[in-house]
Amino acid sequence: MGKGKNPRRVAENEAMAKTRMLRTSPQKLNLVAAMIRGKKVEKAMSELAFSKRRIAIDVRKCLQAAIANAENNHSLDVDELVVAEAYVGKNLVMKRGRPRARGRFGRIKKPFSELTIKVRQVEEQA
């Protein structure tokens, strides 16, 4: 009599993680996301660990969450995972301001963004 099970939003060999309200502009976040797209998971993790960008720490957390989802929820093999998709979306923008000369007002925008990472299990060719 209860509600039916929701269909999966990703394929059977995929897992996903989403992080919202990341305090950076989508343009800057997309530079880091482009760095890991299409790479094997362990290579992507090492690149994020040694990246100098501040937001790489949060991207790494999101990738770890996607790996954990793949392992625990979908029972995929961690050694065969590849970052299939990593895309960025806009979130809210806080508007702040600063008084300027001659009675004017300088607008300061503080953007937030969100990140979605999908990992896919790919069998290695020998």
Could you give all domains of the chain from N- to C-terminal order, each with its CATH number? 14-121 (3.90.470.10)
Confidence of residue 125 (pLDDT cuts 50, 70, 90): low
Instruction: Name the token pair of 63.
Output: 């990738």
CA distances from 21 to 92, 110, 113 (A): 8, 11, 6
CA of residue 29 relative to chain centroid, distance: 9
CA distances from 16 to 9, 30, 64, 103, 106 (A): 9, 17, 10, 49, 40
Over the stretch 72-107, which tens digit does the pLDDT of each residue have? 999 999 999 999 999 999 999 999 999 999 999 999
pLDDT value of position 123: 83
Phi and psi, residue 52, nearest 5°: -90, -10
Looking at residues 36-56, what average pLDDT do you find? 97
Q: Rounded to a whole number, what is the distance in angstroms from the first to the last CA of the chain?
A: 49
Confidence of residue 124 (pLDDT cuts 50, 70, 90): confident
Confidence of residue 126 (pLDDT cuts 50, 70, 90): low
Over the stretch 67-81, which tens digit does the pLDDT of each residue have? 999 999 999 999 999
Q: Residue 40 gets which letter from DSSP?
A: B
pTM of structure? 0.91
pLDDT value at 55 more than 70: yes
SS3 76: coil
Instruction: Name the token pair of 54.
Output: 């501040």
pLDDT value at 7 more than 70: yes
